[in-house]
Structure 1
């Protein structure tokens, strides 16, 4: 349906790459150790279960046309270029290198073992607090013992 709609608006051979930006943002925040709000935690769990399903990937729905003949001639302002020459110039822009780095990062992340995730439900009246490391928590408890002892 997407392809038909896009083509009906004058775009030939569209590249269709479905993504879930919200899910990616939440997964990246967790990987970077950024605290999630209560709503983000709920969305993370929902999205994680959705994307961790066996046999499901938005990559299955990517629609990219096949590469054309690299010897095909393209004319721009009266000058002729082969597709190979334009691809070579594109390579020099640095963008294909960046795309390759992104691809390699994704491949590495797919090889990582996903940890078991548990989220404790917070009482609705309690404010969201920052997670404190065990070391910081123990130091605070020691300070509390000194103040009360």
Structure 2
């Protein structure tokens, strides 16, 4: 809960589409079917019929929009009758190969006030029709997360199917302060030990800053930024100016790391954002790369190009 799952997916979309909130939202699963070259997102809203053990949930159709925007999804998320949303559109950084790639944004399982969040998410994990789990951890809350039981359940599910992968994302890793002794590589190794003790033999961990990547890509896509986001963007460009997050990734092959290098352009150009703020395009692209998000995207593309689901 509040680890940045929706922000992570929005950063891959390059715009703020999925509803994000610091507090727990309704228990809603959002399915995103990647359709290359589609210009906009369309989608439908559903209600799950009650989930019983060993029985697949059935969907009741409630609404459809031919063009989906963030306000529509915010409204759907606020509707207690809606707990399943299906979207179709282009995820620019993800390419379909022999199979179409579908992402699921699930509720945070650790909402103590609503057990349906964990029930819905565990039902999704146990369903079996997927090839990879992306588990998002919050770097600012490690040690106080109550996700150990849920991770143990996921570990048991994965042991029954060796073809499934899991990647752990350490989001908000850029807030770690090395001058205060918060060394990112030591931090990641400690998380790896924690995950190994739960049952994950050799976990793959990628530290990222999803919000940095989202704001940078919004600039490239000419999406508006608030004053707070503009200030944060400038701060991120100043602070996240090396590949420490990528270097700190754990159990990620050098081959995948290498192909995530940003493209360099012979002629740089400045992008005017607002209020006279100009930032060079190369700095924006570097920020996206240093955020760690392209490394995750390359892993998704790399895995599914080589894997038959």
* TM-score of the pair, normalised by structure 1: 0.45
> Could you say which structure has the higher strand fraction?
2
Larger radius of gyration: 1
TM-score by length of 2: 0.23
Higher helix share: 1
